[in-house]
Amino acid sequence: MSISIRDNRNPSPNTQECYTVNIFGNQINTIVTHTPSVVTHFISNILYKYRNSTNIIVGLDIEWRPSFSRIQNPPAIIQLCIDNKCLIFQFIYAPYMPQSLADFLNNPDFMFVGVGIDGDVRKLDSFYDLNVYNAFDVRPLAVEKYGLSGLINAGMKTMADVVLDMEIDKPREITLSRWDDFYLSYQQVQYACVDAYLSFAMGLELL
């Protein structure tokens, strides 16, 4: 199977869930948490590893409970992916917003990339007062590289196919699922991780 998920060893089951998501042979260690200290630890490890680097690419995506009215729901989770590590932070169940996350998103040494990331950035600012200092939508970058103007409004599935030669499935029932559930399903975790990882991989290819 090209994409799959399995449980991973979890040293702290009270504060996080751990999975390995296999994406076309890339093993992504994925943490799901609503605990601020877990977020801080994840970010601290990144900052230490890249302490002497700049222009570091991070895949970013968010998910929220679908709204069928003009009232928008807040982001339920944020996904951050770098190298073979992915963090899924459940905003709505966190006791408070970790300052480490705010500082990380606002760090000029990091380049946060995604498909249609501008809308995500606006939501993060509007609902949580989080500022993303360097945000890059991969679509105009792909238009410039490949000369395909139709990519300017492309979704993740098309972008992954064109940029990474990876064919992915985006099940509607997962896209429109309850992202505000406390316990995310395997399918939701896999979907969320895949989006963030592909954003990261496309950033490496295009930036």
Q: How confident is the model at residue 88 (pLDDT cuts 50, 70, 90)?
A: very high
The DSSP code for 147 is -
Q: State the burial class of residue 174 (Cβ atoms within 10 Å of its Cβ: 0-12, 13-18, 19+).
A: middle
Q: Are 168 and 157 in contact (CB under 8 A)?
A: yes
Percentage with pLDDT > 90 across the chain: 96
Looking at residues 106-111, what average pLDDT do you find?
98
Looking at residues 172-187, what average pLDDT do you find?
97
User: What average pLDDT does the chain have?
Assistant: 97
pTM above 0.95, yes or no: yes
Beta strands 110-114 and 56-64 are parallel
Structure confidence by residue, pLDDT tens digits, 1-49: 599 999 999 999 999 999 999 999 999 999 999 999 999 999 999 999 9
Say what the pLDDT of residue 1 is: 55
Beta strands in the chain (DSSP E): 3-7, 17-23, 26-33, 56-64, 75-82, 85-90, 110-114, 135-137
pLDDT at 197 over 90: yes
Instruction: List the CATH number of the domain containing 63.
Output: 3.30.420.10
CB under 8 Å to 16, separation ≥6 — which residues?
Answer: 10, 31, 32, 33, 35, 38
> Domain of 39?
3-206
Domain total in the chain: 1
State how far the alpha carbon of 202 is from the alpha carbons of 30, 33, 60, 82, 162, in Å: 19, 25, 11, 12, 10
